[in-house]
């Protein structure tokens, strides 16, 4: 084999450096050479002297695909007979397969690949049952190939990765290992929004917040009326902010107001129960009245830096919660918090209003919406057992005993003293419990026992005796060097978490064994390690059983862990990870907000989830009779009757353009640049991601088209010259039509008949834009969404384009099969995989063409079950 690896690249060009075969040459002469000869070279292709060499693989691949799809010979030319066509395709097929096999002689379809950083984080979280452990951002960003970081070609490793893996393993072990015999004290605290200094400032002086009692202004702390309350510090000493009153907030977060519940910050890592009571109202110059509907309060986790002072702390969103009109609604959820984390909040559905500037801090001259919070209750940490699972998976039931850190005979672990980092927090750390560590009278026996339990779970497959011996030997070495038992075991656990057996997908050549199948299935649908049930089935060699595997696919899809698949797949396939890559121009799109942006992502993920849940066919990628919306999106899309921040299925009238991925705001934002749209990137996205027919990259010396934000000319007009150029026409004939259809939507996915401009144009009507948002953009030229597909079919608008695109559901389904295959197997679809994909698609189509069926068929296919 090694001989072949050396010799083949040398002789390969000779082996297939052949003239075009006898079956193909007559076909070329009859149907192709008239245009593709040495003189005319239409499309840059000269078939007259073409030889079948390895560097012509891509050329022959294109030739094959053009002929197979019927695009060549072009419309209007004599069509080849069926048998003739079949012959030439068979010849080309044989060449391409042979060429590809020679290029990758004995390489498995999927090369060895490591876990992506998302997979790594999920795996460690699930291994230790610590769902909020933050590890991903500590690791170097993964590369991606064709948008997928799971692609093995993207997953390199360097000394930087290894250094970070060591740090990440240390952090995980720090959190996992119990350092005291009893769980940290369970504490319950009630916290007001007024615990936060900046909220107090709003109440006391700026007018951005107010105390409310019994759904009215609190008479003990009247709202500012153009004058601020005197001396905030004294008000604090007076206890004015320690009240049972609700806090109503008008001010949306911005660069100087990023609030969180300053009365609580987690000290110990663990699960915390968070409850809150929310409602909304209309403030009418000092009176509290019913609100315009269900408003949305955004809750997030703030990771405090230092003593929690200052404003800007990294955060991530937990979710958006209903604040109904006047009637308080309680919300409750359990969430993992790491030390120093607190709960941030934002009145997300309110437009930015500055009472201080715009109303001279006089709340008696302001009428507008507000969101009130009666209280926050935070309790925890919650432990069902102690020591928790994370510790038990490392040390089982070995007892914790006190130790003297100053003792010289052994090295003992250093302990971190848990302290409250946030000034003014109500929850406090427990008294220092002393120094405790796991101890045993038979360290070597216990080490082996613990490793024999931990390693197979961590490595996701059985572990050989030799491997066990090598890890146990390391424990022995560390004990001999003077480490206590905990330190010795920690050493090898860290090594295990940084070993290839943990960091890499271990897959045997050829057909996957049950353990590799369990991993591949789990990392596909849960983006993480297999659970106990999958591992058990794999150990019993039952997983690949055709009666068992479908049940497991269903189980995984129905489990909440599959939301990770939804998020990760949509993040890569539809590039949702790039949703925040551009900031829409504030003058052109003043209605844009992070709430709208988050809603966009939720829509796309929920829609994908719905396609899987309902087993809908691939035509729903481009056309739909429903959408997944919340009120924010519904208003944005001009759809009535949706209230509140929760995403739900909304039926649409026939021929409504909204609903499918094609017309979702997230996709439309990702394919724009924040200021202008262009048919080219949007068309390229549709071709590549939805239709599976990516366009060739542009020639290297093509300049970018500069958009005209003055509104004098449209992008269509600017592209016209571009498109008429012979060298550009072939690609743009395919790229532009979907892009033109999508010109009906602006950079944030709103539908438009005219372009917005900041220069010339007519006055714009407010429409559904919040009355508190100032608009200054104008309306420029009309949008022309009409176009002609390469096959000559014409459309006048986005709806007609959707009809045409949805008609070829086979194409759409084939694309989805490819996308799922790339994502789940970690490898591009090569030419030799096409037959397998065709077979999968055919089986799915025979069962109705649903995407859930596609997942089943893919997992049960040889393509999936072979490395």
Omega before residue 636 within 30° of 0, cis:
no
Task: Give dist(CA 516, CA 461) in Å, integer.
Answer: 8
Enclosing H/E stretch for 488: helix 485-497
> Which of 238, 316, 333, 432 is in the footprint of other proteins by CB under 8 A?
238
Contact status: 240 vs other proteins (CB under 8 A):
yes
Contact status: 211 vs other proteins (CB under 8 A):
no
**Residue 481: C-alpha distances to residues 402, 404, 412, 801 (Å):** 21, 18, 12, 73
Q: How far is the CB of 362 from other proteins (least distance, A)?
A: 13
SS3 assignment, position 675: coil
Task: Give dist(CA 416, CA 638) in Å, integer.
Answer: 55
Question: Which residues are CB-contacts of 432 (< 8 A; sequence separation ≥ 6)?
Answer: 417
Residues that bind other proteins (rule: CB under 8 A) add up to a total of 14
Query: Which range touches other proteins (CB under 8 A), out of 40-48, 221-229, 442-450, 686-694?
Result: 221-229
Cβ atoms of 719 and 667 closer than 8 Å: no
Contact status: 533 vs other proteins (CB under 8 A):
no
State the burial class of residue 312 (Cβ atoms within 10 Å of its Cβ: 0-12, 13-18, 19+).
exposed
Contact status: 273 vs other proteins (CB under 8 A):
no
Contact status: 234 vs other proteins (CB under 8 A):
yes
When the beta carbons of 232 and 860 are compared against other proteins, the nearer one is 232
Q: How far is the CB of 221 from other proteins (least distance, A)?
A: 6
Task: Give dist(CA 148, CA 822) in Å, integer.
Answer: 8
Q: How far is the CB of 375 from other proteins (least distance, A)?
A: 22
When the beta carbons of 80 and 248 are compared against other proteins, the nearer one is 248
∠ Cα 847 849 853 (to 5°): 70
Q: How far is the CB of 353 from other proteins (least distance, A)?
A: 23
Q: How far is the CB of 219 from other proteins (least distance, A)?
A: 8
* 707 phi, psi to nearest 5 deg: -70, 155
Contact status: 222 vs other proteins (CB under 8 A):
yes
When the beta carbons of 195 and 825 are compared against other proteins, the nearer one is 195
Contact status: 285 vs other proteins (CB under 8 A):
no
Site string for other proteins, 303-332 (x = CB under 8 A): ------------------------------
> Which of 190, 213, 235, 810 is in the footprint of other proteins by CB under 8 A?
235
Contact status: 229 vs other proteins (CB under 8 A):
yes
Q: How far is the CB of 361 from other proteins (least distance, A)?
A: 12
When the beta carbons of 208 and 571 are compared against other proteins, the nearer one is 208
Contact status: 220 vs other proteins (CB under 8 A):
yes
> Which of 3, 10, 83, 239 is in the footprint of other proteins by CB under 8 A?
239
Q: How far is the CB of 232 from other proteins (least distance, A)?
A: 10
Counting Cα atoms < 13 Å in the Cβ hemisphere of 99 gives 24
Contact status: 244 vs other proteins (CB under 8 A):
no
SS3 assignment, position 408: coil
**Site residues for other proteins, window 459-478 (CB under 8 A)?**
none
DSSP state letters, 66-85: HHHHT-SSPTTSPPPPHHHH
> Which of 79, 227, 725, 766 is in the footprint of other proteins by CB under 8 A?
227
Q: How far is the CB of 245 from other proteins (least distance, A)?
A: 13
Residue 680 structure tokens: 């080219």
When the beta carbons of 229 and 752 are compared against other proteins, the nearer one is 229
**Residue 167: C-alpha distances to residues 25, 115, 491 (Å):** 62, 16, 13
Contact status: 242 vs other proteins (CB under 8 A):
no
Q: Tokens 């259809």 identify what position?
A: 741
Contact status: 284 vs other proteins (CB under 8 A):
no
Cβ atoms of 684 and 735 closer than 8 Å: yes
Contact status: 67 vs other proteins (CB under 8 A):
no
Name which of 748, 671, 682, 752 is nearest 711 in CA terms: 752
Query: Which range touches other proteins (CB under 8 A), out of 167-175, 233-241, 298-306, 605-613?
Result: 233-241
**Residue 57: C-alpha distances to residues 47, 151, 176, 711 (Å):** 14, 22, 53, 46
- Tell me the torsion sign for CA atoms 548, 554, 559, 565: positive
Contact status: 351 vs other proteins (CB under 8 A):
no
**Which residues of this protein are in contact with other proteins, per CB under 8 A?**
219-222, 227, 229-231, 234-235, 237-240
């Amino acid at each position: 084999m090694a001989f072949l690896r050396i010799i083949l690249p040398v002789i390969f060009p000779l082996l297939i450096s052949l003239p075009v075969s006898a079956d193909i040459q007559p076909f070329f002469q009859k149907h192709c050479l008239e245009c593709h000869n040495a003189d005319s070279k239409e499309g840059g292709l000269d078939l007259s002297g073409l030889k079948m060499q390895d560097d012509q693989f891509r050329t022959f691949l294109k030739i094959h695909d053009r002929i197979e799809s019927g695009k060549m010979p072009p419309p209007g030319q004599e069509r080849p007979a069926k048998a003739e066509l079949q012959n030439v395709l068979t010849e080309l097929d044989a060449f391409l397969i042979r060429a590809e096999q020679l290029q990758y002689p004995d390489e498995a379809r999927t090369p060895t690949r490591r876990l992506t950083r998302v997979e790594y984080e999920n795996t460690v979280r699930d291994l230790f049952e610590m769902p909020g452990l933050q590890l991903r951002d500590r690791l170097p960003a993964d590369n991606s190939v064709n948008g997928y970081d799971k692609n093995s070609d993207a997953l390199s490793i360097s000394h930087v990765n290894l250094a970070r893996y060591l740090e990440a393993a240390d952090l995980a072990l720090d959190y996992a290992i119990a350092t005291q015999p009893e769980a940290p004290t369970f504490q319950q605290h009630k916290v007001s929004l007024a615990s936060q200094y900046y909220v107090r400032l709003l109440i006391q002086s700026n007018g951005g917040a107010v105390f409310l009692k019994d759904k009215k202004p609190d008479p003990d702390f009247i709202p500012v009326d153009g004058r601020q309350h005197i001396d905030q510090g004294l008000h604090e000493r007076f206890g004015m902010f320690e009240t049972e009153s609700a806090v109503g907030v008008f001010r949306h977060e911005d660069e100087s107001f990023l609030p969180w519940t300053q009365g609580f910050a987690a000290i110990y890592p663990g699960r915390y129960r968070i409850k809150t009571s929310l409602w909304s109202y209309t403030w009418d110059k000092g009176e509290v009245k019913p609100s315009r509907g269900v408003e949305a309060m955004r809750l997030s986790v703030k990771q405090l830096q230092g003593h929690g002072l200052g404003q800007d702390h990294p955060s991530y969103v937990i979710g958006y919660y209903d604040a109904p009109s006047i009637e308080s609604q309680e919300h409750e959820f359990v969430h993992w918090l790491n030390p120093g984390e607190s709960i941030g909040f934002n009145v997300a559905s309110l437009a930015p209003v500055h009472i201080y500037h715009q109303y001279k801090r006089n709340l008696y001259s302001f009428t507008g919406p507000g969101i009130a919070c009666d209280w926050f209750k935070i309790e925890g940490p919650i432990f069902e057992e102690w020591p928790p699972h994370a510790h038990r998976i490392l040390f089982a039931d070995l007892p914790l005993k006190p130790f003297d850190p100053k003792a010289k005979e052994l090295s003992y672990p250093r302990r971190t003293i848990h302290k409250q980092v946030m000034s003014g927090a109500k929850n406090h750390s427990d008294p220092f419990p002393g120094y405790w560590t796991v101890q045993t009278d038979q360290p070597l026996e216990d080490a082996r026992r613990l490793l024999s339990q931990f390693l197979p779970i961590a490595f996701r497959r059985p572990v050989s005796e030799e491997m066990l011996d090598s890890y146990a030997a390391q424990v022995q070495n560390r004990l001999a060097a003077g480490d206590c038992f905990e330190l010795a075991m920690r050493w090898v656990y860290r090594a295990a978490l940084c070993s290839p057996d943990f960091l890499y997908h271990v897959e045997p050549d050829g057909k996957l064994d049950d353990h590799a199948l369990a991993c591949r299935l789990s990392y596909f649908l849960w983006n993480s390690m297999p659970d106990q049930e999958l591992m058990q089935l794999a150990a019993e060699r039952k997983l690949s059983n055709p009666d068992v595997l479908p049940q497991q696919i269903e189980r995984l899809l129905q489990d909440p862990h599959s939301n990770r698949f939804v998020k990760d797949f949509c993040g890569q396939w539809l590039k949702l990870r790039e949703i925040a890559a551009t900031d829409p121009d504030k003058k052109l799109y003043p209605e844009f907000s992070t709430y709208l942006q988050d809603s966009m992502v939720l829509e796309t993920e929920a829609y994908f989830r719905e396609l899987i849940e309902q087993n809908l066919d691939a035509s729903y990628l481009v056309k739909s009779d429903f959408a997944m919306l919340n009120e924010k999106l519904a208003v944005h899309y001009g759809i009535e009757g949706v209230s509140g921040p929760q995403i739900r299925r909304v039926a649409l009238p026939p021929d409504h353009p909204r609903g499918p991925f094609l017309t979702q705001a997230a996709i439309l934002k990702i394919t724009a640049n924040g200021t202008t749209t262009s048919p080219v990137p949007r068309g390229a996205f549709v071709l590549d991601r939805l239709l599976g027919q990516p366009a060739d990259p542009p020639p290297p010396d093509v300049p970018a088209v500069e958009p005209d934000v003055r509104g004098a000319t449209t992008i269509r007009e600017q592209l016209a010259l571009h498109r008429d150029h012979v060298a550009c026409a072939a690609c743009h004939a395919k790229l532009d039509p979907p892009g033109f259809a999508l010109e009906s939507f602006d950079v944030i996915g709103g539908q438009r008949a005219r372009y917005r401009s900041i220069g010339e144009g007519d006055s714009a009507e407010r429409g559904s834009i919040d009355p508190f948002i100032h608009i200054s953009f104008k309306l420029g030229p009309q949008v022309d969404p009409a176009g002609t597909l390469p096959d000559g079919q014409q459309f006048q608008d986005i709806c007609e384009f959707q009809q045409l695109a949805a008609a070829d559901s086979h194409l759409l389904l084939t694309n989805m099969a490819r996308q799922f295959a790339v994502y789940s197997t970690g490898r591009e679809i090569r030419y030799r995989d096409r037959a397998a994909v065709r077979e999968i698609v055919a089986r799915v189509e025979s069962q109705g063409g649903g995407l859930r069926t596609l997942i089943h068929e893919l997992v049960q296919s040889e393509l999936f079950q072979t490395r």
